[in-house]
Amino acid sequence: MAMPVQANADRFLGLGQVYDANRPAVPQVVMDLLCRYARVERPGLVVDLGCGTGLSCRAWLGKAERIVGIEPNSDMRRQAVESFRSFPGGQAAEFRAGHSQATGLGDGSADIVTCSQSMHWMEPEPTLAEAARILRQGGVFAAVDCDLPPAFDWEVEAAYREMQGRVKAFEERPEFARAVRWDKAGHLGRMKESGRFSFVREVVLHGLEQGGAERLEGLARSLGGVSVLLGAGVSEQDIGLSGLVQTARRILGDAIVLWVIGYRVRLGVK
């Protein structure tokens, strides 16, 4: 039987393209902040655990000497490799198969280690132990999470939340394999309790992106729970996806609007 963390990763099989096209990217201010806390202008090595399609690695291009993404999902990893071929300086990044608790990287080799929208899928203690092991003294670990849905229209956001509630209710049913998640709000407490960091804190930031009804639908389809339920034969109507799409199209039409996306950065200095 697959270990829980691998089962978590498998929820995103087949979602590489829709994930890459519609998920928000980490804003540059996050990278600048982490460099400040690590007291380095240009990191020698940044490691991104659960890097997915490499969205969270892209902002490091041209800013870090070397970037290593660790990703257990083959579809996501393939998408990352393919997309980075076209980016200037993309050769600075490499993507490895693996899990957050066993990166294969050397002791004290990294300036910064991140988990971007991914730590809630990882076993906390082994992940924090591995992050601390590969960080140099004074290096920084950060769990970066965005708040979804984006903020732009109350009625569309209400439809998105309705979908989230329906998905959660379906996932509670015994006939569906339940994902193993760890509460994002608990990241900071677990970092403190680990005793592996000399300083920890949470910083709240925001990013600005643009999107319309089509991107919002893609964002919803990139969610692992939505994908699993659709793959199991649950209808788009029953999970609230069709209602979300209809509401977004009615309110937005073809308009592209500004999305305000909140980010919560829980960081620790080794």
Question: If residue 220 lies in a helix (H) or strand (E), which one and from where to where?
Answer: helix 213-221
For 63-83, how does the pLDDT look when each residue is reduced to its tens digit (9 = 90+)?
999 999 999 998 889 999 999
Q: What is the pLDDT of residue 141?
A: 98
Q: Between 135 and 19, whose confidence is greater?
A: 135
For 19-63, how does the pLDDT look when each residue is reduced to its tens digit (9 = 90+)?
889 999 999 999 999 999 999 999 999 999 999 999 999 989 999
Please report which confidence band the pLDDT of residue 177 belongs to, taking 50, 70 and 90 as the band edges: low
Question: Percentage of residues in the chain with pLDDT exceeding 70?
Answer: 94
Q: What is the pLDDT of residue 2?
A: 40
CA 232 to chain centre: 24
Global pTM? 0.93
Please report which confidence band the pLDDT of residue 116 belongs to, taking 50, 70 and 90 as the band edges: very high
**Does 1 have pLDDT greater than 60?**
no
Cα separation, 19 vs 42, in Å, equals 29
Is 246 a member of any domain?
Answer: no
Q: Token pair of 73, please?
A: 């999902």
Stretch 4-32: mean pLDDT: 80
Is 221 a member of any domain?
Answer: no
Is 22 a member of any domain?
Answer: yes
Q: What is the pLDDT of residue 174?
A: 85
Please report which confidence band the pLDDT of residue 13 belongs to, taking 50, 70 and 90 as the band edges: low
Is 187 a member of any domain?
Answer: yes
Please report which confidence band the pLDDT of residue 157 belongs to, taking 50, 70 and 90 as the band edges: very high
Question: Percentage of residues in the chain with pLDDT exceeding 90?
Answer: 82
Stretch 199-209: mean pLDDT: 97
What range does the domain containing 75 cover?
4-149+181-208+259-269
**CA neighbours within 13 Å on the CB side: how many for 207?**
24
Stretch 246-268: mean pLDDT: 98
Other C-beta atoms lying within 10 Å of the C-beta of residue 22: 18
**Does 3 have pLDDT greater than 60?**
no
Is 120 a member of any domain?
Answer: yes
**Does 111 have pLDDT greater than 50?**
yes
Asked if 48 and 68 count as a contact pair (C-beta separation under 8 A), the reply is: yes
Q: What is the pLDDT of residue 180?
A: 82
Is 145 a member of any domain?
Answer: yes
Is 9 a member of any domain?
Answer: yes
Q: What is the pLDDT of residue 7?
A: 62
The CATH number given to whatever domain includes residue 61 is 3.40.50.150
Other C-beta atoms lying within 10 Å of the C-beta of residue 23: 22
Label residues 212-245 b or e (16+ Cβ within 10 Å = b): bbbbbbbbbbbbbbbbbbeeeebebeebbbebbb
**Does 240 have pLDDT greater than 90?**
yes
Counting the structural domains of the chain, the total is 1
**Does 187 have pLDDT greater than 60?**
yes
Sheet holding 46-49, edge to edge: 93-96, 67-70, 46-49, 110-116, 135-146, 257-269, 199-211
Q: What is the pLDDT of residue 143?
A: 98
Stretch 89-118: mean pLDDT: 95
Is 134 a member of any domain?
Answer: yes
